[in-house]
Amino acid sequence: MAGEATKRDYSLLGASGRTAVETGLAAAEWYHTDVARKEMKALMQRSDNQAIRDTALWLGSMAIFATLGIYFWGSWIAVPFFLAYGVLYGSATDSRWHECGHGTAFKTGWMNRAVYQVACFMIMRNPTVWRWSHARHHADTIIVGRDPEIAIMRPPDLLKLILGFVGILDAWYGLTDMARYAFGHVNAAEKSFIPAKEIPRVFFVARVWVAIYVATMTPKRPRRSSGRQTVLRQRWRSPSGGMNWEMSSERRMSSWVRRWSRLNSIAFMEMSRWQSKISLGRFMGWEDEDGR
């Protein structure tokens, strides 16, 4: 019937991709407005000071909102603080990932690369996979069968769109992809835009991330209780003999907060170790600070 939406083939190895190559849509030369080189350089001026200030505000605000949310845990007052923390964690981290990935946030190259690595870890995007995926995205923007980052496909899936808005799908895909890379598997679609020499880096980063998660989530061995600790534990019991649920929940929350803090600490230490022992420019295969 005329007017009905037909499902298109968005896969990178399907018929739409082959058609895009055959018709010249892939890596095509599109119209662009001519801008004088001197004027373009003036428009593209970058500043470390502004970027450092904005990064400090971003991470500092997250720390403040998380602290307030934990402080008011168990009360509805905690909700707005966790909502604010979530917005900064999700949307603001995504923007840092994008701009530092392009090397436009900081003037100094290593700062872009360092924040890019941290942002990739936070939103579970393998830095090597997404660097090449994003390069293809800009080369063949919204070309069906070529662009791996088309967010809304036709006909639109409203449920998927809603779940994507709150990050549920992103977290699931991030976890499953991380596990897949850690086991040494890159699918055929990813191989179509990732150079073969870059694939070992995909596996290396995924395995480091898995090690960080395992080290963070593994519970500590319980210590032997002293007499004073035994008395204190007995005070947590309710008159009926069962554990007080509210206190137990608070203790579990405190445990998860400690683990999450360890996760972030280990992540930042790992990033610092890479920065000091490995040339990130060679590791990522990026351009130098002047963009050459």
**Residue 125's pLDDT band (cuts 50, 70, 90):** very high
- pLDDT score of 166 more than 50: yes
**Residue 58's pLDDT band (cuts 50, 70, 90):** very high
Contact between 244 and 212 (Cβ < 8 Å): no
| pLDDT at residue 6, rounded to an integer | 66
**How far is Cα of residue 177 from the mean position of the Cα atoms in its chain?**
12
Q: What are phi and psi of 80, to 5 degrees?
A: -60, -30
**Residue 40's pLDDT band (cuts 50, 70, 90):** confident
User: Helix, strand, coil proportions of the chain in percent (round to 5)?
Assistant: 65, 0, 35
Find all residues with CB under 8 Å of 145, minimum gap 6, and list them: 9, 10, 11, 12, 14, 15, 16, 17, 18, 19, 20
| pLDDT at residue 172, rounded to an integer | 92
User: 237 has which bridge partners?
Assistant: 243
Which stretch of 23-37, 110-124, 179-193, 267-281 has the lowest confidence by average pLDDT?
Answer: 267-281
Amino acid symbol at 246 = E
- pLDDT score of 126 more than 70: yes
| pLDDT at residue 82, rounded to an integer | 95
Q: Which token pair is 12?
A: 């990178």
Bigger pLDDT: 279 vs 41 = 41
Which stretch of 110-119, 144-153, 209-218, 223-232 has the lowest confidence by average pLDDT?
Answer: 223-232
Neighbouring CB atoms inside 10 A of 154's CB total: 12
Q: Provide the 8-state DSSP code for 32.
A: -
| Per-residue pLDDT tens digits for 219-238 | 877 666 555 444 444 444 44
Contact between 187 and 229 (Cβ < 8 Å): no
| pLDDT at residue 260, rounded to an integer | 59
Q: Provide the 8-state DSSP code for 243.
A: B
**Residue 5's pLDDT band (cuts 50, 70, 90):** low
Q: Which token pair is 198?
A: 């870059």
Amino acid symbol at 199 = I
**Residue 187's pLDDT band (cuts 50, 70, 90):** very high
In order of 91, 95, 197, 208, 240, the CA distances from 153 in angstroms are 21, 22, 31, 33, 57
| pLDDT at residue 279, rounded to an integer | 39
| pLDDT at residue 223, rounded to an integer | 67
Alpha-helical runs (H) found in 123-244: 127-139, 158-165, 168-182, 188-191, 199-217, 227-235
- pLDDT score of 124 more than 80: yes
| pLDDT at residue 27, rounded to an integer | 85
Spatial separation of the C-alpha atoms in residues 246 and 210, rounded to whole Å: 32
Bigger pLDDT: 88 vs 240 = 88
Q: Which token pair is 111?
A: 């700062």
Spatial separation of the C-alpha atoms in residues 179 and 185, rounded to whole Å: 9
| pLDDT at residue 265, rounded to an integer | 56
- pLDDT score of 280 more than 60: no
Neighbouring CB atoms inside 10 A of 4's CB total: 6
- For helices 199-217 and 168-182, what crossing angle results, to 10°? 110
In order of 32, 43, 205, 287, the CA distances from 125 in angstroms are 31, 30, 10, 20
